């Protein structure tokens, strides 16, 4: 779905995620400003093999909902995908939440690189505690918000987390969500080499390490919430969080107290997901 020679950085996780779009029938992307806009490029020489509509940040899901309704009335067979980063999800959260509340017939995919990367790595609401960005030079003092759980509270058709480190799982979720109706949301973990300060050859390794340490938990809701088998196995044989944070330059100032705080956050989130899983059985 993405052509070679595009404008992505070396090791870009978004360009990896774009490849999985071929699991979705007749996708039409609505993209606000961000890294994905740069990668897609501008007409007539853009790099994606599907139609793309570039829109202002806050209007993304509103435009996507209008486009979907127009296609429906014209009898056009298309899957409208609102594709955005975590920064656009911050700026456009009002319309994102409203679209979910209306159960608009959309697939929303957020590729989360945990900061505003294309404008110079400013902190976003998804930036984790302690991460150094250009707007948090001493490390972020608050925790990152969990957008997946927030969207789950809207009682929509489908919510899932995914990772560019596990493409089979990511592709399956794209394929499944693409075939459903109503509001669907997929939150993709997307480690960014320049923003997170690791070697560009290690994007997939860092993404997998996030799952193997439970720093990123894979789960899925389709009327019933399930923690994925990958994350269940990670909970039993968990790798050391120090490996995951130690490999990223943005956490170079991390000490043991910081790690303990993150570990507690992870434990709490896993317990919440286990509780929700038991509630939905």
Q: Residue 265 class from Cβ within 10 Å (0-12 exposed, 13-18 middle, 19+ buried)?
A: middle
Query: Per-residue pLDDT tens for 2-21?
Result: 988 898 999 999 999 999 99
**Res. 264: pLDDT tops 90:** yes
Convert the pLDDT of each residue in 181-218 to its tens digit.
999 999 999 999 999 999 999 999 999 999 999 999 99
Residues whose CB falls within 8 Å of the CB of residue 12, separated by 6 or more in sequence, listed in order:
35, 39, 192, 193, 203
Contact 126/148 with Cβ under 8 angstroms? no
Read off the pLDDT band of 281 (50, 70, 90).
Answer: low
Q: For the ranges 169-183, 184-198, 266-280, which has the lowest average pLDDT?
A: 266-280
In the chain, the N- to C-terminal Cα span, in Å, equals: 37
Domains of the chain (ranges, CATH numbers): 13-279 (3.40.50.970)
**pLDDT at residue 140 tops 90:** yes
Q: What is the pTM of this model?
A: 0.96
CB-based contact 164:207 (threshold 8 Å): yes
Query: Which tens digits make up the pLDDT trace of 29-86?
Result: 999 999 999 999 887 888 999 999 999 999 999 999 999 999 999 999 999 999 999 9
194: its two tokens = 């320049």
The pLDDT of residue 46 is 86
Inter-residue contact 162 to 169 (CB < 8 Å)? yes
pLDDT at 253: 82
**Alpha helices, DSSP H, located in the chain:** 13-19, 35-40, 60-74, 86-91, 93-102, 147-152, 167-179, 193-196, 203-212, 229-236, 241-246, 256-279
Q: Give the pLDDT of residue 280.
A: 66
Instruction: Indicate the average pLDDT of the chain.
Output: 95
Cβ-proximal residues to 86 (8 Å cutoff; 6+ apart), any chain: 110, 111, 112, 113, 114, 115, 124, 125, 126, 147
Mean per-residue pLDDT, 91-107: 97
Which pLDDT does position 43 carry in this prediction?
A: 78
What are the DSSP calls for 117-166, one per residue? TTTT-B--TTPPTT--BTTBTT--SSPPP-HHHHHHTT--SEEEEEETT-
Rg (CA), the chain: 18
Q: What is the arithmetic mean of pLDDT over 100-122?
A: 96
State the pLDDT at residue 127.
Answer: 97
């Amino acid at each position: 779905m993405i052509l070679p020679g595009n404008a992505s950085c070396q090791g870009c996780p978004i360009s990896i995620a774009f490849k999985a779009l071929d699991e979705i029938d007749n996708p039409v992307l609505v993209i606000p400003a961000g890294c994905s806009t740069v990668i897609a490029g501008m007409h007539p020489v853009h790099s994606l093999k599907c139609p793309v509509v570039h829109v202002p940040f806050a209007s993304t899901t509103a435009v996507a909902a209008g486009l979907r309704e127009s296609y429906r009335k014209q009898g056009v067979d298309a899957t409208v995908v609102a594709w955005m980063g975590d920064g656009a999800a911050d700026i456009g959260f009002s319309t994102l939440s409203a679209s979910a509340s209306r159960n608009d017939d959309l697939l929303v995919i957020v590729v989360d690189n945990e900061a505003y990367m294309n404008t110079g790595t400013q902190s976003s609401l998804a930036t984790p505690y302690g991460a150094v960005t250009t707007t948090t030079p001493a490390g972020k003092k608050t925790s990152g918000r969990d957008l997946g759980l927030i969207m789950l509270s809207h009682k929509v058709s489908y919510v899932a987390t995914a990772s560019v480190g596990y493409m089979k799982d990511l592709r399956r979720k794209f394929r499944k969500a693409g075939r459903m109706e109503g509001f669907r949301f997929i939150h993709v973990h997307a480690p960014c080499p320049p923003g997170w300060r690791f070697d560009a050859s290690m994007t997939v390794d860092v993404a997998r390490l996030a799952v193997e340490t439970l720093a990123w938990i894979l789960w899925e809701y389709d009327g019933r919430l399930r923690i994925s088998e990958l994350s269940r196995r990670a909970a039993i044989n968990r790798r050391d969080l120090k490996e995951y944070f130690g490999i990223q330059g943005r956490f170079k100032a991390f000490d043991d107290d910081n790690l303990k705080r993150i570990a507690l956050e992870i434990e709490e989130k896993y317990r919440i997901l286990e509780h929700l899983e038991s509630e939905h059985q």
